[in-house]
């Protein structure tokens, strides 16, 4: 069964809802075992590595806008990263109702300033 635009968007929105509620086992149901994550501060290969990090970080996503085109879903959101809110863009690729690839871009300067005590 192919993934449609509507079902790809549903998969990503359901995933993010579970992440916000810290229901990581439920969120994982929407992720492929071979999930690839690419971010500004690093990459993760495999769902195990990704969810191990997410369980520690417990980010909160404030969704602003979502666009879907085929199996690609783009989400503009603000992410609370431990008291620092960063505007981000996430590109989610969905195959067979599972997220296979996430690429997130954002300006890391607020995090770097915080780490350096500025």
The domains found in the chain, sorted by start residue, are: 5-115 (3.10.450.50)
Residues 23-39 have pLDDT tens digits of: 999 999 999 999 999 99
Q: In what order do the strands lie in the sheet with 31-39?
A: 42-45, 31-39, 98-106, 85-95, 72-80, 60-69
- H or E element in which residue 35 lies: strand 31-39
More confident residue, 55 or 109: 55
Residues 13-26 have pLDDT tens digits of: 999 999 999 999 99
Under a CB-based contact definition with an 8 Å cutoff, are residues 98 and 11 in contact? yes
Phi-psi category of 106—alpha, beta or left, where left has phi over 0 and alpha has psi -120 to 50? beta
Q: What is the pLDDT, as a whole number, of residue 118?
A: 59
β-bridge mates for residue 72, sequence order: 69, 93
Pairing of strands 85-95, 72-80: antiparallel
């Amino acid at each position: 069964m192919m993934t449609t635009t509507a079902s790809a968007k549903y998969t990503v929105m359901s995933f993010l809802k579970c992440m916000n509620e810290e229901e990581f086992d439920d969120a994982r149901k929407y992720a492929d075992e071979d999930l690839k994550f690419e971010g500004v501060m690093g990459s993760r290969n495999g769902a195990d590595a990704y969810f191990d990090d997410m369980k520690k970080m417990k980010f909160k996503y404030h969704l602003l806008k979502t666009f879907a085109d085929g199996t690609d879903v783009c989400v503009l959101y603000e992410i609370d990263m431990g008291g620092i809110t960063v505007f981000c863009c996430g590109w989610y690729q969905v195959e067979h109702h599972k997220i296979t690839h996430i690429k997130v871009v954002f300006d890391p300067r607020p995090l770097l300033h915080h780490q350096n005590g500025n």
